Structure 1
Amino acid sequence: MKKIILISKSNNESKEINDYLQKYFRIQLCLDNFSSVESMLKLFEPDFVLCMLLDMTKDDISKLGIIPKNYPGLPLMTVGSSEEIKSYENINKSMSNYRFERSINAELIFKSVCSILKIKPESLQAEGEVEKKDILIVDDDAMTLRSIKKMLDEYYNVSLANSGMKAMAAIGQNKPDLILLDYEMPVCDGRQTLEMIKADNDMKDIPVVFLTGVNDREHIEAVLKLLPSGYLLKPVSQAKLVATIKQVIG
């Protein structure tokens, strides 16, 4: 399955596009905090980048210049008003590979992406009838994110977040079937992130499996007091990881 990074502000337009495309592609959302664009490109290794320019400031747009500069062969599509597209090109001194003016709908974007990637839309639509479940991995360590993602790519649609706050934004945009959550993270750790998830009526029922690298009784007891759906010690094997997820969500 081809991989797309969707870069956007949090708004109804990006949600509509994401909801449509995720049936046919692996989508990694990059919302609001565009300083993480480069790290997402390295971690996710996308086949395509889609930038929704609605509501972006000049500072937001300037951070996107790293894409054509450092990844010149990566297909890049910008979607916005004529003024927004001109602003992007003037600020970054470059043109995106593919430009579409609003209002273009999700189906047209899907067909355009298929054409650019040389994929038959009907073949993806047939595959989309058997939907994989969505897993969100939350960990501040890039190597861990990359490793666990590779273990799960064959079985699930995998999204990544490298902090608790980015996880909350990603969940709000695309509710996953299960969250793999690192317990030890700076600023907003796993406990705080789980508390925020449980406090939100739309998120509180999402199963959360903790990942922890500390194997002592006191630490494990502290983890279990938070009533997660499970916990795994890092490093974890692919067999153990997949078996735990299947036990929780089937």
Structure 2
Amino acid sequence: MKYKALLAGNSKKLINEFFIQMDLFFECITSSMIYDDLKNHIKYFEPDIFIFCMRAETRDDIVTVASFHKLLIEKKIPYAAIGDAAGMEFMSKIVNAEPELSLKLPINTADIQEKITKFIQGYKSHEAIAESSSAMTSSNFSSSSTVDMLAQIDAEIEMMEKGISPKASSAFSPVPRQPEIPGRPRILVIDDATIIHKTIKGHLDAEYEVATAISGKVALRYLCSKEVSLILLDYEMPEMDGPAVLKKLRENPYLAKIPVVFLTGINDVEKTKNALALKPQGYLLKPVDKNALLSKIRELIK
């Protein structure tokens, strides 16, 4: 079965590995290091585990995790951390910051997946004992079905990356996507800079559920299983830039109608013209002004 993993921390590389290489085992969502943001993800996402993906965190970040750990214990959610020896040593000096599972870098993706999966299973063993054998059989069947469906989705994303439009019988169509919480529209932020994720979540969390993706490919995977009301899209990203992502969205009949607003710091006239030629529903300059952002979102989400 797939476990729901709440990810936070400064390591883009580790977070990307969870979304791209371990997607068959974990349903992932990212959070900023703002305590209220972490708390809201516990409420709305209900994760099976919190994973701290470490890379040069500040003392304030570690203190936030220590405070959050108390809530995790209360909610019976296990806590794992992945980082180098120096980071683990630093964390051990702060009360309540140490995780139940520590994975020290360097460690390969397969070992991360195996150790975290076994850790979750052990943590939940008392619940597993109470489950009936029929429920376990159903779970195994569901896992196989999920693997088959994700393989199909991966194939279609590869087609999209090659410029081939998915057919109407696409895997995007029959997959039942997770609906939004009534009265709390879901907004997807696609940006390779985690500081942008934190800033926008700070601006929007009071009214909206904010999901984040650090690349176009991660975003496309996310959109296969989640409904969103609006996408905030960075113009300049490595591998697949904003216009390329928007083009893929417009080519897919199941994603084409999602409103897209570009976020950009560029002032190049030609690039601006190229972006506007794709007809996004909005265009906001970085650093993003909170009032302008909220005004545009309210205009597009009625």
Given the two structures, how large is their TM-score scaled by the length of structure 1?
0.59
The match for 2:153 is none
RMSD of aligned Cα (Å)? 4.1
Judge conservation of contact 2:4–2:28 (CA < 8 Å) in 1. Answer: no
Residue 46 of structure 1: SS of its match in structure 2?
A: helix
> Contact conserved, 2:249 with 2:256, CA < 8 A, in 1?
yes
5 Å matches for 1:1-250?
6-7=4-5, 31=19, 33-34=21-22, 40=30, 42-43=32-33, 46-47=38-39, 48=42, 50-51=47-48, 73=70, 74=72, 75-76=76-77, 91-92=118-119, 95-96=122-123, 100-101=127-128, 103=135, 130-250=182-302
Question: CA offset at residue 220 of structure 1?
Answer: 1.4
Q: Name the SS of the counterpart of 1:185 in structure 2.
A: coil
Shift in alpha-carbon separation, 1:39–1:245, aligned structure 2, 3 A: closer
Instruction: Quote the Cα distance in structure 2 between the aligned partners of 1:129 and 1:66.
Output: 27
- 1:98/1:213 CA distance change after superposition, 3 Å: farther
Please list every run of 5 or more consecutive structure 2 residues that lacks an aligned counterpart in the other structure. Answer: 7-17, 55-64, 80-113, 139-179
The amino acid that maps onto 1:201 is P
SS at match of 2:48: strand
Q: Does the Cα contact within 8 Å between 1:142 and 1:162 map onto a contact in 2?
A: yes
How much has 1:7 moved relative to structure 2?
2.8
Consecutive unaligned residues in structure 1, runs of 5 or more? 9-29, 53-63, 79-86, 106-127
Structure with higher Rg: it is 2
The superposition leaves residues 133-180 of structure 1 with CA deviations (integer Å, 9 ceiling, x where unpaired) of 111011000111100111010111111111111111111110201000
Show the counterpart of 2:98.
none
CA distance, structure 2, for counterparts of residue 92 and residue 147 of structure 1: 33
Quickly say closer, same or farther: Cα 1:89–1:156, change in 2 above 3 A. closer
Q: 1:176 to 1:90 in 2, by over 3 A?
A: closer
94-103 or 154-163: bigger deviation: 94-103
How far is the alpha carbon of 1:182 from its aligned partner? 0.3
* 3-state SS of paired residue (1:76): coil
**Partners of 2:228 and 2:120 in 1: how far apart?**
37
2:265–2:287: 8 Å Cα contact kept in structure 1?
yes
TM-score (norm 2): 0.50
Tell me, in whole angstroms, the C-alpha distance in 1 between the residues paired with 2:31 and 2:200.
Answer: 17
Partner Cα distance (1:140, 1:32) in 2: 14
CA contact (8 A) 2:4 2:27 kept: no
- Superposed CA deviations along residues 167-198 of structure 1, whole A, max 9, x for unmatched, are 11111110201000001000111111111111
What do residues 84-126 of structure 1 show as CA deviations (whole Å, max 9, x unaligned)?
Answer: xxx7678559943786436499xxxxxxxxxxxxxxxxxxxxx
Q: Distance in 2 between matches of 1:90 and 1:144?
A: 30
Take 1:206 and 1:38, find their aligned partners in 2: how far apart are those partners?
22
Distance change >3 Å, CA 183–CA 95, structure 1 → 2: same
Measure the CA separation in 2 of the matches of 1:133 and 1:180. Answer: 13
Deviation at 1:76, TM superposition (A): 2.0
